[in-house]
Amino acid sequence: MQQTKCARVTVWLVLIALICLESSLSAQTKSRVNHAGYTDVPVLFVGCASDGQVGPLEAPSAKSKVMAISAGAAERLAYYKAEYGVGVLAPRGWHCFGTYGSNGATLYVSPDPINAADLLSTSWKGFAGPAIQISVAEGGTSGRFEVAKTIARVFPKHKAFVARVIAEGIEPASSFPFGPYPADTLKYKNDHCVEFWTPAGTDGLGTASRLLKNDSPISGVAILVGEESSLLHLSIRLPSAASDLVPLIVAQTEQEAAHSDN
């Protein structure tokens, strides 16, 4: 059963990767302009090693990722991706590592070296400084618990999903509090996509990750994708000098999620 679940999430994640690759290749043959007026430019691709249910995996390789951003931003950013899961824009020169399993996949990017043993440990508390985490929780596997917790917080039109998970009796209803985190600022794009801002020193969608609260805010986006309501969750905390890159990172994640849902 566990292998079957792993196979399902692997297929789903591979489909996302193929969709993103197709988008990248088509963009190389036909220039396009996005809503901000930028044409396609190549962005450095950085492959990330990963580890998970079937063991360590080497970093994938590619020359670049083509996307519509300014040339100046492209010089400051790289596109990081592990074998499974989705990729993410982050400042150039950062370190990355991915984890994966039957519940989904997560990619971590940090200016400091990432110890894989820490990520796989239950005792490690998380990233105390700047970091980016992008996760896919598969709604049709054990990832449904994480999906249900986020739906309860910010996606009221999908609360039937939460009710089904609670009805299983595996986790108590108290594990799925309804309503937004009090300090979070939310910006809904639609009923399945919400951008968020978690203020410094507070709990919120930003800290529903391995990013610990500190004296800097966390931005990001939560998106429901696929027929089984899987969750794409991005949390970003950058140094103040790079804060202007946050909207670009969020926009790219939203764009790739839209492609995966088509």
* 96-125 residue pLDDT tens: 999 999 999 999 999 999 999 999 888 999
Tokens standing for residue 159: 């609360």
Domain count, the chain: 1
Q: What is the C-alpha separation between 109 and 236, in angstroms, rounded? A: 10
* Range(s) of the domain holding residue 193: 2-261
Tens of pLDDT, residues 202-228:
999 999 999 999 999 999 999 999 887
- What's the confidence (pLDDT) of residue 122? 86
Mean pLDDT within 35-61: 89
pLDDT of 20 over the 90 cut = no
Burial-class residue 105 by CB neighbours within 10 Å (0-12, 13-18, 19+).
buried
Nearest in space to 238 (alpha carbons), one of 110, 116, 108: 110
State the CB neighbour count (10 A cutoff) for residue 48: 23
How does pLDDT run across 170-188, given as a tens digit for each residue?
999 999 999 999 999 999 9
pLDDT score at 144? 96
Is pLDDT above 50 for 18?
Answer: no
For the cut 80, the answer to whether the pLDDT of residue 21 exceeds it is no
Rama region for 20: left / alpha / beta (φ>0; ψ in -120 to 50; rest): alpha
Q: What is the pLDDT of residues 124-157, one digit of tens each?
A: 999 999 999 999 999 999 999 999 999 999 999 9
Token reading at 77: 């950013």
